Amino acid sequence: MKVLVVDDETDVQILFEQRFRREIRAGELIFAFAHSGEKALAYLNEHPSEYVLILSDINMPGMSGLELLRLIKTTYPAPPPVVMMITAYGDSESHDQAMQLGADAFLTKPLDFNNLKEKLKSAL
Amino acid sequence: MEIASFLIVFFMVRYIRTSLQTAVRFPEWERILVIVQYAASGLLAADVFLDSSITKWLWHLLLLGMVGAAYLLKDFRPVRNVWLAVGPYILVSLFKDIAKLIDSDFYESISTVVEIAEIFTLVWLIATWVSTQRQQKALEKERLKRLQEEEQSRIIAGQNVMLEQLVAERTAELTRQKEELEQTLTELKATQDQLIQREKMASLGELTAGIAHEIQNPLNFVNNFSEVSVELIEELKEERRREDRDIELEEELLTDLTQNLQKITHHGKRADSIVKGMLQHSRTSTPQREPTDLNNLADEYLRLAYHGLRASDKSFNATLIMDFDEHLGKVSVVPQDMGRVLLNLFTNAFYATEQKRKTGLAGYQPTVQVSTKRLSDEQIEIRVRDNGCGIPKTVLTKIYQPFFTTKPTGQGTGLGLSLSYDIVTKGHGGELTVETEEGEFTEFIIQLPT
């Protein structure tokens, strides 16, 4: 399964690669990283229908995660991939908005990686 | 001629009495003069009823006595010159009577001349009299004038006293007012200090959410990297227990571990600097100038401002552009003060974009840009630009005034730009200028000497 992680913090890449190193080594998961909403969209357009799961931060400079979610859900060709949102602010407003826009899950920072692994497995 | 003598005595007595004011100044002379007047009246009556030649000699005596007294006596000195007027007449009439007595024939031969002379002396007397009266009147006028002047100067003196009193009262009042004003000034200074402190605290409040976010992120990394490092060590131990050890994997794990520890340090330091910045921001003690990396400072505060706003308004979003001059070098500033200026400019910039966004402009992307540039060996520049609502010309002159704010009541202290201006100009000898176009952009430019 190919997963695209969108976060403006570059160290997220190293973290994910280590946290999921067994899954990556086993070939169960393939990760790609984008550091902004704009880059994520561009990446998706370059690799159409490849990525089935998108994990995006909400609070990013420029295009926000919610805006990215809206664009993916409205313009991305079917079948729409699974989109999970991550935010440092676990407020209900963002949660409701994300759900309304069609997010499949709403996670708060700090990420519980075991929980995330389970969610990814269930998404498989 | 007795009538003439009587009139002369009468007027002379009157003249002496009024001129010398004998009634007031010389009561004994007054009495004598009154007696003289009665005597003259009696003499005139005697003249009419007794046809005696003795009376004319009494007239002569009376006139000579009066003139002599006026001429000789000290008390009559002011009227001494009366003899000038009366003298000729007395002499002529005396000469006439004596001549008549001694040799009436001789007198007859010169009588015409004597009588003409007598008339002349009378004319002389009257003329002198009139001219004296006139002089007297002029003198009287003068005296009145002097009296008036005296009265006036007395009034003026009185007024002076009154004015002096008024001035003293006013001075006392002014002194009291001055003291009150000084007191008020002291209170105002204290209030100003409190307000500055409150403004610091208010901006600290704005910062808190941003700080929490900014600290949360590195802390997450610290936690995550340490947790994953424990996993890596477990894996490494597992690998070493195996018969066929994968050296390459072990090396990889060790490299990752080193990298993780570096990441932990990096994010730990990141959190550390944020906390330090926050402490500096709220500090009240006299701040010290120190060589500061303004690129770092701008970066840090832009993030803090952004996340601070994000925390209070979830719908808020903006593109941040940072364009830093690598050759800026360190600049000697008071970091917390300059941080406040930047924070203030950023907060305003975000607010301006938010105001414009709320107008519902299609395709509007809020953007806040900070750039630094070294202008010369002695000068650097920081620009904070937003594509927000801009500043209307009407308020442009007021933006640095204390307490001036366009924000709704309770949302802005109106001290942000005023304090920023003071910090840049008075605190650092720099300049704070603004370029703006209503509805298009605002750009604040800080120029600092290095």
DSSP state of B414: S
Report the residue of A5, A18, A21, A24 to disrupt the B interface, i.e. the one with the largest count of B CBs within 10 Å.
A18
Residue B244: pLDDT over 70: yes
B217 and A9 in contact by Cβ < 8 A? yes
Q: Give A10 to chain B, closest Cα distance, Å.
A: 11
Selecting from A11, A61, A89 the residue whose C-beta is nearest the C-beta of B311 gives A89
Nearest-CA residue of chain B relative to A93?
B314
Domain ranges of chain B: 2-155, 289-450
Residue B281: pLDDT over 70: no
Residue B447: pLDDT over 90: yes
Name every chain A residue with its beta carbon within 8 A of the beta carbon of B224. Answer: 15, 19, 110-111, 113
What's the whole-number mean pLDDT along residues B23-32?
Answer: 82
- Give bridge partners of residue B442 from the DSSP assignment: B386, B436
> Is B408 strand, coil or helix?
coil
DSSP state of B433: E
Question: Per mean pLDDT, which of A120-124, B56-60, B338-342, B408-412 is the most reliable?
Answer: B338-342
What's the whole-number mean pLDDT along residues B391-420?
Answer: 82
Q: What is the pLDDT at residue B261?
A: 95
Residues 254-313 of B with CB under 8 A from A: 256, 259-260, 263, 267, 306-307, 310-311
pLDDT 10s digits, A74-108: 877 655 678 899 887 777 777 888 889 888 889 88
Q: What is the pLDDT at residue B443?
A: 96
Residue B280: pLDDT over 70: no
Percent of chain B with pLDDT over 90: 36
Q: How confident is the model at residue A72 (pLDDT cuts 50, 70, 90)?
A: confident
Selecting from B221, B224, B320 the residue whose C-beta is nearest the C-beta of A61 gives B320
Nearest-CA residue of chain A relative to B257?
A18
Q: Give A19 to chain B, closest Cα distance, Å.
A: 6
What would the two tokens of residue B370 be?
């900070």
Q: Which of A104, A105, A42, A100 is nearest to A79 (CA)?
A: A104
> Any residues with CB less than 8 A from the CB of B432 and at least 6 apart, and which?
B341, B400, B420, B421, B424, B425, B444, B445, B446
pLDDT 10s digits, B419-444: 899 899 988 999 999 999 999 999 99
What's the whole-number average pLDDT of chain B? Answer: 85
What's the whole-number mean pLDDT along residues B49-56?
Answer: 74
What's the whole-number mean pLDDT along residues B186-212?
Answer: 78
Q: B289-450: which CATH topology?
A: Heat Shock Protein 90 (3.30.565)
Name every chain B residue with its beta carbon within 8 A of the beta carbon of A18. Answer: 228, 231-232, 256, 260
Residue B347: pLDDT over 80: yes
What's the whole-number mean pLDDT along residues B161-179?
Answer: 94
Selecting from A14, A64, A88 the residue whose C-beta is nearest the C-beta of B263 gives A14
pLDDT 10s digits, B86-135: 888 888 888 888 887 788 788 788 888 888 888 888 888 888 888 888 88
Q: What is the pLDDT at residue B155?
A: 94
DSSP state of B424: I
Cα angle at A91 between A88 and A93, to 5 degrees?
125
Residue B386: pLDDT over 90: yes
Q: Do A11 and A4 form a contact (C-beta atoms < 8 A)?
A: no
CATH class of A2-112: alpha beta
Please indicate whether residue B212 or residue B332 has the higher confidence score (pLDDT).
B332
What's the whole-number mean pLDDT along residues B138-154?
Answer: 93
> Any residues with CB less than 8 A from the CB of B370 and at least 6 apart, and which?
B298, B299, B302, B320, B321, B322, B323, B342, B346, B382, B383, B384, B385
Q: What is the pLDDT at residue B102?
A: 83
Q: CA A13 to CA B228: how far, in whole Å?
A: 13
Cα dihedral A27, A111, B298, B366, rounded to 10, equals: 90
Nearest-CA residue of chain A relative to B312?
A89
Q: CA B43 to CA B144: how far, in whole Å?
A: 38
Give residue A98's identity as a one-letter amino acid code.
A
Residue B94 sits at the chain A interface (C-beta within 8 Å): no
Q: Give A110 to chain B, closest Cα distance, Å.
A: 6
Residue appearing with tokens 């002349």: B120
B319 and A61 in contact by Cβ < 8 A? yes
Q: Which of A74, A75, A67 is nearest to A85 (CA)?
A: A67
- Written as one string, the DSSP assignment of A47-66 is STTT--EEEEES--SSS-HH
Please indicate whether residue B226 or residue B73 has the higher confidence score (pLDDT).
B226
- Give bridge partners of residue A83 from the DSSP assignment: A54
Selecting from A15, A91, A110 the residue whose C-beta is nearest the C-beta of B314 gives A91
Please indicate whether residue B208 or residue B441 has the higher confidence score (pLDDT).
B441
Selecting from B213, B223, B263 the residue whose C-beta is nearest the C-beta of A88 gives B213
Q: Give B202 to chain A, closest Cα distance, Å.
A: 22
A59 and B310 in contact by Cβ < 8 A? yes
A88 and B216 in contact by Cβ < 8 A? yes
What would the two tokens of residue B118 be?
């007598």
* Displacement of CA A72 from its chain's centroid (Å): 11
Q: Give the DSSP H or E segment for B448.
A: strand B441-449
Name every chain A residue with its beta carbon within 8 A of the beta carbon of B232. Answer: 18
Selecting from B220, B310, B314 the residue whose C-beta is nearest the C-beta of A110 gives B220
What's the whole-number mean pLDDT along residues A50-58?
Answer: 86
- Give bridge partners of residue A5 from the DSSP assignment: A33, A55
Cα dihedral B118, B123, B125, B130, rounded to 10, equals: 170
CB-based burial of residue B210 (10 Å sphere; 0-12 exposed, 13-18 middle, 19+ buried)?
Answer: buried
What's the whole-number mean pLDDT along residues B381-391?
Answer: 94
Q: What is the pLDDT at residue B372?
A: 95
Radius of gyration over every alpha carbon of chain B, rounded to an integer in angstroms: 59
B228 and A9 in contact by Cβ < 8 A? no
Q: CA B176 to CA B164: how far, in whole Å?
A: 18
Selecting from A15, A18, A89 the residue whose C-beta is nearest the C-beta of B314 gives A89
Q: What is the pLDDT at residue A120?
A: 83
Q: What is the pLDDT at residue B286?
A: 67
pLDDT 10s digits, B282-324: 665 567 888 999 999 999 889 888 888 877 776 788 888 999 9
Predicted complex: ipTM over 0.95: no
